[in-house]
Amino acid sequence: VLLTACTVVTPSGLSVTPSPTTAPTSIPLDEGDGAGFARQRERMVIETIERRGVTDKDVLNAMRAVPRHLFVPEAERDRAYGDYPLPIGYGQTISQPYIVALMTELLGLKEGDKVLEIGTGSGYQAAVLAHISGIEVYTVEIVPELAESAHERLKSLGYTHVHCKQADGYYGWPAYAPFDAIIVTCAAGQVPPPLVKQLAPGGRMVIPVGEPFGVQSLTLVEKDEDGKVRSRSLMPVRFVPLVRKDESSE
Ligand code: SAH
């Protein structure tokens, strides 16, 4: 969510080359100043995402298509395509665009995959996942107001294959398990065992692991076909914490 340790090179005031070949999303959108935001999105993809090494075409297309400005509070719209996280209320944030793209790429999604997201927040990450063709998205948010508003937003933007639930995501979503991929967008002290259990053989999970208010390790957890689990630390990141309804129950 917040900034990664990698420093970001976004020279302000750089001129932008509009790309008329960028296909708009097939989802009908009320973009407001459509062309302006589309240009900002293109610049965001080129300067903050591709430049840092994200190459997956499906991911880049999704980042080009999803109207991020409609996932942030109105007062933040002008900053929606900047290289940083933004507040979305309730002490939460929408992740920096690069982190959304990187985590999505790390999932290695393929047509037909079922993905579980923990931490719906604004619904932006879920929309990016849903924009990749043939992906079914399940997303869980603990803050009732955010769960409700993200659900409404996703519905109104036409993301019908995103399934939303308000609950403590520590427990995953057993009814729809197993998942081919799991993405956790809040920081956990350890990888929650229920999530490992709900990962399908051959599946991948991306999760920030570490101190709640410090720097965490973006961690890739892979389960092989025999159910053996391997974890790798990839890079330092800073996310809002995964909170529990009752901390003592852990
Ligand atoms: N993916 C979001 C950003 C999420 S910020 C987006 O694209 O906008 C992290 C979110 O995780 C917050 O909304 C926070 O309320 C939620 N969260 C924290 N602990 C949680 C838990 N135990 N279960 C589900 N969601 C949780």
Which residue lies with its CA nearest to atom 19 of ligand 1?
Answer: 242
Are 175 and 151 contacting, i.e. CB atoms less than 8 angstroms apart? no
Ligand 1 within 6 A of CB of 243: yes
Its sign, for the CA torsion 242, 230, 221, 211, is positive
End-to-end CA distance of the chain: 24
What does the pLDDT read at residue 223?
98
Ligand 1 atom nearest to CA at 117: 1
Largest separation between any pair of C-alpha atoms in the chain = 54
Q: Tokens 């999303």 label which residue?
A: 25
Q: Please provide residue 92's backbone torsions phi and psi, each rounded to the nearest 5 degrees.
A: -105, 170
- For residue 27, the CA-to-ligand 1 centroid distance in Å is 25
Residue 5 above 90 pLDDT? no
Residue nearest to atom 11 of ligand 1 (CA): 119
Q: Give percent helix, percent strand, percent coil of the chain, each to the nearest 5.
A: 30, 25, 45
Q: Which of 26-30, 81-85, 141-145, 151-155 has the lowest average pLDDT? A: 26-30
Kindly state if the Cβ of 182 falls inside 6 Å of ligand 1. Answer: no
CB atoms within 10 A of CB 17: 10
Counting every residue written for the chain, the total comes to 250
Least confident range of 20-34, 106-120, 185-199, 204-218? 20-34
Active site residue 95: yes
What's the pLDDT tens digit per position in 190-202? 999 999 999 999 9
Ligand 1 mean position, distance from CA 117 (Å): 9
Determine which residue's CA is closest to atom 10 belonging to ligand 1: 119
- Mean local confidence (pLDDT), 102-112: 97
Q: Which of 12, 15, 95, 249 is catalytic?
A: 95
pLDDT 10s digits, 215-245: 999 999 999 999 999 999 999 999 999 999 7
Q: CA 15 to CA 35: how far, in whole Å? A: 16
